[in-house]
Structure 1
Amino acid sequence: MGYTVFWEGKVPEEPHIHSVGFAIRSQLVQQHNFAPTAINERLMTDRIPLTQDKHLTPISVYAPSDEEKAAFYNQLNHTTQAVPANDKRGVVGDFNARVSKDHRQWEGIIGHHGIGSCNANGQLLLGLCAEHEFIVANTLFRLPKRQKTTWKYSQSKHWHILVYVLTKARNQKDIRITRSMLGTDDCWTDHRLLISRLNIKTQRPPRRAPGSILRRRFEYVRLHNPQMVRSYKEAYERHLVNPVNQASVEDHWTTLRDAMTRAAEETISFARKKHQDWFDEDDETVSLLIEAKRQTRLHLKNQLIKSSDQRDLRSFYAATKEIFGPTRSSVGGLKDVDEATIITDSEGILLRCRTHFENLLNDQANTPSDLLRITPQDPVHHWMSLLDSIQDFNRALKRMKPNKAPGPDNIPLELLTHGGPELKNRLMLLILKIWEMTPPPSDFRDANIITIFRKGDRENCNNYHGILLLSITSKIFAHFLLDRLFILARDVLPESQCGFRPFRGTIDIIFCARQLQEL
């Protein structure tokens, strides 16, 4: 995970002897649009949103050790006073100061585990802490001395604390640990990094983009109950208004879709998410339930093996979800077009996927402009323009496979098959309107794209396979066209074409090719 560095230093003409800054995780910067404020080359502040309408205001400092320290502490005092009173605040940085271990004299400011003695800069620092009710977090934890000190004096080789973490006394419980990071002694440096872990949580971005539509699946399994089917038909007829006189196909389809949706919401409702049960292993009252759960898992395991042997994929995956639970895979980031920049925010990932599939599905074909003119034309078949009947609609409806994910209209096949003759007649009337050269509804032309990871790098869009979820009603209309094209294909396609044709296969062609090779 990358970090974004914000820093402020002297102008290029002056010596680069000191600066101040923040290193914030790039994902947090993109989610909350962080923009730290640099007061000068020694002070920088930021405001981080937390949960429950709270904020954290960290102040990064690099204090001077010469005659400029009076002006520095004066500026730091004004900066601390400007922080809202309800914010959690903290001051972090190199103060070039040494506070003592006299916790009795500085009660409530220095903890019981300080080291060394106090110098002049330490007096200024402790005065600032007393004025703003700060506590020195470095002195709160009982640690070895080498895990407290941050700087080694080159002449005496003694280690001291110069980097401090200051926080309000009321927020002391938020600090889990403050200690030096060991392992840098071999880098030939006289400084150690200081780490302070806080028990706080930043505000999470919304899981759904603003303005997005929440699509929930209907519990269409309840339609296996005849009583529920009758209730659904009655609710559908109650919500349905007569769409025959509607001028446009879009209004006709919207009326049918809304009636089916409201009827399904009243009768079968939406499917609920199932969470795994939690048991306390030390509680004797639930021991029988735990044993029953184990027996259920054993039964599901046997069912899983049986479904695998019978090649029943639906039962196989249903049993898998019951045993292991649904798996949720999230994309940590996607590479941009240049394959160098990593996109981590949700809106950027959606935009990158949209651009990828637009380029993939809208590829420009390099066909000559006079292709239709030079292609031999078959005679016009007038029988292809004849309208279908309700019997053709019922046959196409029976050929549809159940338990399929719906498209943009969120209407599953079960709502169509259990809607009764009135719904089927009105859907047939809608298809006849579309057949008479009328543009289809927008739900028939749109589709939801679901990405499935294949293999390779998860940050590469080319390693994801896009699945289009189309409207179920539009698939019924597509079956009408497919039936006519199959009849026409018998006369147009050559005898050698066996792929994607009923009662034929490429195995026969391969067998013939091998027989010819053996001759």
Structure 2
Amino acid sequence: MSSSDASKDKFYEDLHALLATVPKVDKLIVFDNFNTPIGTDHAAWQGVLDPHGLGSCNDNGLLLLCTFAKHRLLLTNTFFRLPMREKATWMHLHNNAIVETRWCLLRNVIQSTALLVLGRAHCQHQDWFDDDDVDISNLLAEKNGLHKAYMDLRTDATKADFFRSRRLVQQRLREMQDAWMIRKAEEIQGYADRNERKNFLKAIKAIYGPCINGTAPLLRSDGKTLLTEKSQILKRWAEHFRSVLNCSPAISEAAIDRLPQVDTNNDLDLPPSLPETIRAV
């Protein structure tokens, strides 16, 4: 980077804000040519830098290392022992079209490889429409066909057919959803009545999916800085509740003195009589 210090700081602030929006449970890969030496001091940057770094760390490299350490990212190109000529880029790509072409090629290769090896993610929980998927598809196909016919030929007959089909589809879908919910409720209630705790929890988990534990980022009291570390977030919550619950009361003695005073009615302190109790009951 040959930019000014302000531009560099702004770049890393924007990068930090962007990385902070990624959930902790996600797998994050950052592709970029940061074009800065990061050194080889892997002992000081454990978990971020491995022995095969490049050059001597400068201010730019320190900013990069701090950002990666804060977000628990690894500089993977330092994990492999490569020839010196392959550790850095030696030619600047001035043409943005070349960069875009290479990025599209890389993106397509990664996506196609991921689909081939990993496949698409499957739903981890049950939905009410899973058991009636074929019937729902047929209902929607019929409704879509009548909608297309109405769009192609706008007559009273095609309009009536489409609206009638849409009304029937909505009614049928509600019936399917209600029936599924009743079946699941009876199934779960049966597990509870038979004290089958394992099946009870398994059935609930199948409907609602597994619990995802994660710490959401939190803004500092200034409303600008985003906190991502768990310890910082806990301190911020403690600070917030201390300011809300432990604030000193604002009591005006003069206002209290201005309140009208009345004589004490000691009769109200007496226990209720029998007629009063009977009347109250």
Is this a same-fold pair by TM over 0.5?
no
Q: Which has the larger radius of gyration?
A: 1
TM-score normalised by length of structure 2:
0.34
* Structure with the higher fraction of residues in helix conformation: 2
TM-score normalised by length of structure 1:
0.20
* Structure with the higher fraction of residues in strand conformation: 1
